[in-house]
Amino acid sequence: MTHRAVGAFAQALVACVAAAACGPGALSGDSDSGAAAADDAKDAASAGEPGAPAAPGSDPTPYRPWSLIVLPDTQAYAFDHPELFAAQTTWIAANAEALGVRYVLHVGDVTEWNTTDEWLVARGAFDALDGVVPYAIVPGNHDYDLAQVRASRLTEFFGVEDARAMPTFGATYEPDRLDSSFHTFDAAGERWLILALEWGPRPDVLAWAGAVLDAHPDHRAIVLTHAYLYGDDTRYDWTVHGDAQTFSPHFYPPPTWPEVTDGEQIWQALIAPRDQVHLVLSGHVVDDGVGRLTSTTDAGAQVHQLLANYQDRAHGGAAYLRILTFFEHAVQVRTYSPWLDAFDDAPEQQFVLPRDGW
């Protein structure tokens, strides 16, 4: 199958976002109507509708949409279908500027067997993004040596020094390991922080992450970790569900992970006591590989929690990725495959999340 940089519907999305003239409902799943929406968006932009003279006392600057790209589990691509991994990152690089992509976020399980060959495939795919758009990667359970304690090979192929070269990079939990890190960036006049946390984060890692949030009270935050939300739209919670929620971080015995936390523990320790986190992104869970939950913190903050993992599809995922486009009052979530040049229009794959108070 021939890979194309941008298909008809993707062109509509690019044009719409680049024009800063479309709201989250402007694009439908049909490619023809998508192209029409793009034309409408460009016409509206040229007519000055989004930037029409503001009422006295209002902000004259319109909110310019921007995007994040989420890469779900790529383990099958690294092991057996490197061309799909390359298709994803090549497409992102080609369209990053037009889509206003501020960050690419990988939810973990970069590899299947944690082999050198697989990591080289991953490193080669991400080379397409270097110098184009910053990215954050967290290790999944497949990215560890099962005979050692917390021995991910992530840092071996994505070095801490390389990460520090990105101006958006903040710091790591361990000075010589990239498994848990934080990043900051600005978009549309907003300050954002990404907490990229290891598989089943240790309690000490959650304490560190909390200190990072407390040191950045003016930042909206996103938590990225491999195992958090389950396929039934609830958080992983070993205390309540035990092994009924399959492949919980608590399911995996020592020596690899003598200390772990699950989704509910992350929620209670890190997210619920604060008002800064508004998105949690995770993968890991198979079958249909999607889930969605919106919760409210103790301080009344709205938190959207999303699961995406397409590894049970053809070729280990058919190169599907997620595009999160941020508007002033909503986030539009779309699921797109650069390899197939197709969007998945199912309701659980395309939806709009409200931004209430953030």
> Residue 90: its pLDDT value, please?
98
Return d(Cα 118, Cα 248) in angstroms, integer.
24
Nearest partner of 353 among 324, 332, 325, 322, judged by Cα: 332
pLDDT per residue rounded down to tens, the chain (358 residues) = 333 444 555 565 555 555 554 556 554 444 433 333 333 333 333 333 223 334 445 455 799 999 999 999 999 999 999 999 999 999 999 999 999 999 999 999 999 999 999 999 999 999 999 999 999 999 999 999 988 999 999 999 999 999 999 999 999 999 999 999 999 999 999 999 999 999 999 999 999 999 999 999 999 999 999 999 999 999 999 999 999 999 999 998 788 889 999 999 999 999 999 999 999 999 999 989 999 999 999 999 999 999 999 999 999 999 999 999 999 999 999 999 999 999 999 999 999 999 998 9
Report the alpha-carbon distance of residue 45 to residue 102 in Å, rounded.
Answer: 22
Taking the C-alpha atoms of residue 199 and residue 188, their distance in angstroms, rounded to an integer, is 31
The burial class, CB within 10 Å (0-12 / 13-18 / 19+), for 32 is exposed
- CA 251 from centroid of its chain's CA atoms: 25
- Please answer whether residues 196 and 222 qualify as being in contact, where contact means their C-beta atoms are separated by less than 8 angstroms: no
Quick one: pLDDT at residue 30? 42
Q: What pLDDT is recorded for position 33?
A: 36
**Which pLDDT does position 10 carry in this prediction?**
54
Q: Token pair 């976020």 is at which residue?
A: 105
Amino acid symbol at 287: D
* DSSP letters spanning 171-237: EESSTT--SSEEEEEEETTEEEEEEE--SS--HHHHHHHHHHHHT-TT-EEEEE-SS-B-TTSSB--
Instruction: Give the integer Cα–Cα distance in Å for 339 and 106.
Output: 18
d(CA 293, CA 171): 29
Question: What pLDDT, on the 0 to 100 scale, is given for residue 59?
Answer: 53
CA 88 to chain centre: 14
Pairing mode of beta strands 66-71, 277-282: unpaired
All structural domains of the chain, each given as residue ranges with its CATH number in brackets, are 1-62 (no CATH), 66-354 (3.60.21.10)
State how far the Cα of 54 lies from the Cα of 265, in Å rounded to an integer. 46
Minimal CA–CA distance to 335: which of 21, 14, 10?
Answer: 10
Side chain identity, residue 132: V
Rounded Cα distance between 110 and 156, Å, is 13
Give residue 256's pLDDT: 83
Give the number of C-alpha atoms closer than 13 A to the C-alpha of residue 120, restricted to the C-beta side.
Answer: 3
337 vs 1: CA distance, rounded Å: 12
Contacts 24+ apart (CB under 8 A), 293-299: 293/229, 293/233, 293/234, 293/235, 294/353, 295/267, 297/271, 297/272, 297/273, 298/272, 298/273, 299/273, 299/274, 299/275
Give φ, ψ of 86 to 5 degrees. -65, -35
